[in-house]
Amino acid sequence: MGGNQLWRYDPVKQWLVHGGNPRCLDCNPGNKEIFVSACSPEKETQKWIFEHFDAERLAKWDKAGPVF
């Protein structure tokens, strides 16, 4: 349904982007806090590395929206 629980992984920028608005998952490693903030390529705390994901399905998402 594309609500508050929808996140998309961008493997190039290594971002987890919220589906409802262009904001990224961010963190504060010092106090182990996770939060959402404006996406910024300069922020290393917004980079998330996933070793295993379905690149073909992700490409289909880019064209038609989420594929479940």
- Write the pLDDT tens digit of every residue in 49-63: 988 888 888 888 766
Q: Is residue 14 part of a domain?
A: yes
- Its sign, for the CA torsion 20, 53, 14, 61, is negative
User: pLDDT band at 68, cuts 50/70/90?
Assistant: very low
pLDDT at residue 5, as a whole number: 77
Q: Is residue 58 part of a domain?
A: no
- Please report, for residues 12, 25, 29, 49, the alpha-carbon distance to residue 3 in angstroms, rounded to integers and kept in the order given: 24, 15, 27, 24
Judged against a pLDDT cut of 60, whether residue 6 lies above it is answered with yes
| Residue 47 DSSP label | -
Can you give the residue range of the structural domain that contains 44?
1-50
Please count the other Cβ atoms lying within 10 Å of the Cβ belonging to residue 45.
Answer: 15
Q: Is residue 61 part of a domain?
A: no
Q: Is residue 11 part of a domain?
A: yes
Q: Is residue 38 part of a domain?
A: yes
User: pLDDT band at 22, cuts 50/70/90?
Assistant: confident
pTM above 0.85, yes or no: no
Number of domains making up the chain: 1
